[in-house]
Chain A
């Protein structure tokens, strides 16, 4: 069964993504990283969503 953890923040909320990353890493992201981190977090969220869909129909 897939996890029931909440999704990562949506790409529509880039500030929430950056806040999540800062809190998780215990640091403040440099400005130059922010756009790339938001895009990559969105990509990982998409992959996680797809993977959870696999769990929803059987395994």
Chain B
């Protein structure tokens, strides 16, 4: 194997493999960073995942890791691992755009977001900022200012959103992991459509400082990665969580009702196979899921509208048309609608907790099926074509509405990626990671291979 082939083998491996190779001196962090920069240069023209390439910063951070190793100093668990962040994380010296054209020339952030600080301390190397729907209000990553992010597995299809750049960059093999954010499904949906693992953590359990807000009551940040173990390794650094100790076995239920009746046939079959393989109870019902989704819609519209109300009144035309009209409608929504949603949330959370007394883990689809075609952006719901942009969150919104932790996971198999949500009780992320690893080992879950 040539030196170049050896480097490629290390870089195309997992997060922990890269860190191990750097820590033991088999490869320099600088070479890994340069490889990531080169691969982005080669692929980004067609995929459009990256909005800003941070060459100088990446090489400087990688050099610092190499210097520490050369001097015998300890380096962190993510030493030399290249990553990127959704364009709503503060990066010192750059404006935080949140995907908005009007923020291109906003004052530069004076320091990194807390999550980035923790990753830097662990030796990870920040290489790029990544595309998103404007202000994180969308499920497709079609941005009027930065363009459309394409699915690496089929460029004619959506990558999902709003963290579409974060998912596409990992799925294309540009970066080893990325950070995104999830309010109604913005990590889980692109993870599913791009064939990756993603974490929507328990609400407010990962640090939000230095991330641009959308809906405070629902917003969370989280990573994308190519394996459950990588996802846990990155989450542990960002959250300051321990990854040691045994996790007990789990009683598993597959959600039915709302979560089963609108699925693409291939996803119905795949979930049935998975249920058989793990001995899960099927057709577990949650009550009033349609209302939970509606309440999430109303909370999102009201809080998002209030956040942008003054700017909308001043210069609505500066917004991306895809988000503008939704934000305006939300800004004019009566407070009573929001209060109704909050009251319902209190009831729904208690009802779901009752179900979770019987099941340690609940499984649901992440989306109705594979990524929609960009040229035909509709999905079928109850036999009727509806807009993909507004309806890709059918199965994700009712779950994040009550702040539960979810590992989004890719089902193993040929064809376009299909994904599931592995849902736990608040604070039980470790159980979700352990279960996802177990399914990976059984060959039931697998990240879609990065295209050559």
- Bound complex: CA A45 to CA B321 (Å): 21
> Does B111 count as interface, using CB distance less than 8 angstroms?
no
Query: Which of A25, A26, A27 has its CB near the most chain B CB atoms (within 10 A)?
Result: A25
* Docked-complex contact B344 and A24, CB < 8 angstroms: no
B425 near A: Cβ within 8 Å?
A: no
In chain A, what residue has the closest Cβ to B309? A25
* Interface bits B376-402 vs A (CB < 8 Å: 1, else 0): 000000000000001000000000000
Q: Do A37 and B328 form a contact, CB below 8 Å, given A44-B337, A51-B340?
A: yes
Residues of A near B321 (CB, < 8 A) are: 32, 36
Q: Given A5-B334, A48-B298, A51-B340, do A41 and B291 touch, yes or no (CB 8 Å)?
A: no
**In the complex, what residues of B have CB within 8 A of residue A40's CB?**
301, 325-326, 328-330
Residues of chain A from 27 to 59 with CB closer than 8 A to chain B in the complex = 27, 29-30, 32-33, 35-37, 39-41, 43-44, 46-48, 50-55, 59
Interface contact B325-A36, CB-CB below 8 Å: yes
From B291, B317, B334, give the contact of A51 (CB < 8 A). B291
319-343 of chain B: CB within 8 A of chain A: 321, 324-326, 328-334, 336-337, 339-341, 343
Beta-carbon nearest neighbor of A59 in chain B: B347
Are B332 and A21 touching (Cβ within 8 A)?
A: yes
B interface: dominant SS? helix
Complexed CA–CA distance, A3 and B385 (Å): 32
A46 to chain B, nearest CB (A): 8
Partner of B340, one of A8, A41, A48: A48
Q: Are the C-beta atoms of B325 and A55 separated by less than 8 Å?
A: no
State whether A50 and B291 are in contact (beta carbons under 8 Å apart), knowing that A25-B309, A25-B331, A44-B337 are contacts in the complex.
yes
Number of chain B residues whose Cβ lies closer than 8 Å to a Cβ of chain A: 34
Q: How far is the CB of A53 from chain B (nearest CB, A)?
A: 7
**Docked complex Cα distance between A26 and B390 (Å):** 27
A16 to chain B, nearest CB (A): 12
B309 pairs with A54, CB closer than 8 A = no
Count A-side interface residues using an 8 Å CB cutoff: 33
**B312 on the A face (CB < 8 A):** yes
CA distance A2 to B341 in the complex (A): 9
**Interface membership of B288, Cβ < 8 A:** yes
A24 with B295, Cβ < 8 A, contacts A3-B340, A33-B324, A40-B325 known: no
Contact among B298, B317, B324, B344 for A59, CB-based, below 8 A:
B344
Query: Which residues of B are found within 8 Å of A33, using beta-carbon distances?
Result: 316-317, 324-325, 328
Please tell me which one of the listed residues B301, B312, B317 contacts residue A44 in the complex, with CB atoms under 8 A apart.
B301
Nearest CB of chain A from residue B251's CB, rounded to whole Å: 27
Across the interface, do B317 and A2 meet the contact criterion of CB distance under 8 Å? no
Chain B: which residue is nearest A53 at the CB level? B291
- Report the bound CA distance from A12 to B340 in whole Å: 24
Q: How far is the CB of B125 from chain A (nearest CB, A)?
A: 41
CA distance A10 to B339 in the complex (A): 21
Tell me the complex Cα distance, A27–B321, Å.
18
List B residues at the A interface (Cβ < 8 Å): 288, 290-291, 293-295, 297-298, 301, 309, 312-313, 316-317, 321, 324-326, 328-334, 336-337, 339-341, 343-344, 347, 390
What are 26 contact pairs spanning A and B, CB under 8 A? Answer: A3-B336, A3-B339, A5-B336, A8-B334, A20-B332, A24-B331, A25-B312, A25-B313, A25-B328, A30-B317, A32-B317, A33-B317, A33-B324, A37-B329, A37-B332, A39-B325, A40-B325, A44-B297, A44-B298, A47-B297, A48-B340, A50-B294, A51-B340, A51-B341, A55-B340, A55-B343
